[in-house]
Amino acid sequence: MLEQHLEFLVERSVVAIPQARVGLGLIIAVGFSFSLAHVFSLMANRLKPRQILVHVILDSLVLAAALLIGSCLNLLMIALVTNRVIEPHVFFNATGGALTPGLFYVLVAAPYISDLIAIVIWVLVHLNVVTLIHLRFGLPYEQVLLITAPGYVLTLVMVALVFRQSWRRSYLRLASALKS
């Protein structure tokens, strides 16, 4: 059954990409907002504008991919639990709307309150996805929380790994610049 759902998801996702342009556009915009939150650290590392632009674009695409993978996992979990055929483009467009609090992630660059803003945004995004799935599929909240937890945790881990790698690169670059 898992193989059938995976096969269906892959086949329909490839076909649904042009139809899911709103949701995918919002996912890319959220990834871009996540990436922009670190522009000040890139500037502090004395990077040239072109290097900053490349970092922002690559990080935003990787972060958008992390959000998309988490959404795919949510889609697969819903299909497994409910035994319903879900069109990926409908789900991605709806999920893209649920990710809109992530557009304000750029505010995480604010001094002193950045951690609080980041936590609030991540909680809002998860609550939006839970509410969306509850309303769209009529599942109880307890079941929706269990369905969406793996996708949420996977997305958080992947975003944390991208941020950790980005910070590590920045600190190494700054340390080497200060030594010379």
List the structure tokens of 142.
Answer: 């307890």
List the structure tokens of 156.
Answer: 């958080």
Helix, strand or coil, per DSSP, at residue 17 = coil
Among the ranges given (10-14, 16-20, 29-33, 89-93), the one the predictor scored with the smallest mean pLDDT: 10-14
Per residue in 142-168, pLDDT (tens digit) is 999 999 999 999 998 998 888 777 666
* Alpha-carbon radius of gyration of the chain: 18
- State the pTM of this model: 0.81
Integer Cα distance of 99 and 12 in angstroms: 22
Instruction: Report pLDDT for 129.
Output: 92
Instruction: Report pLDDT for 180.
Output: 65
88 Cβ contact partners less than 8 Å away, ≥ 6 residues apart: 9, 12, 13, 16, 20, 75
Q: What are phi and psi of 21, to 5 degrees?
A: -65, -30
Q: Is 87 exposed, middle or buried (0-12, 13-18, 19+ CB in 10 A)?
A: middle
State in Å, rounded, how far the first CA of the chain is from the last one. 59
Q: How confident is the model at residue 15 (pLDDT cuts 50, 70, 90)?
A: low
Per residue in 98-108, pLDDT (tens digit) is 888 888 888 87
Where do the structural domains in the chain lie, given as residue ranges?
2-179
Instruction: Report pLDDT for 111.
Output: 66
Instruction: Report pLDDT for 138.
Output: 86
Instruction: Report pLDDT for 89.
Output: 82
Per residue in 122-141, pLDDT (tens digit) is 899 999 999 999 998 888 99
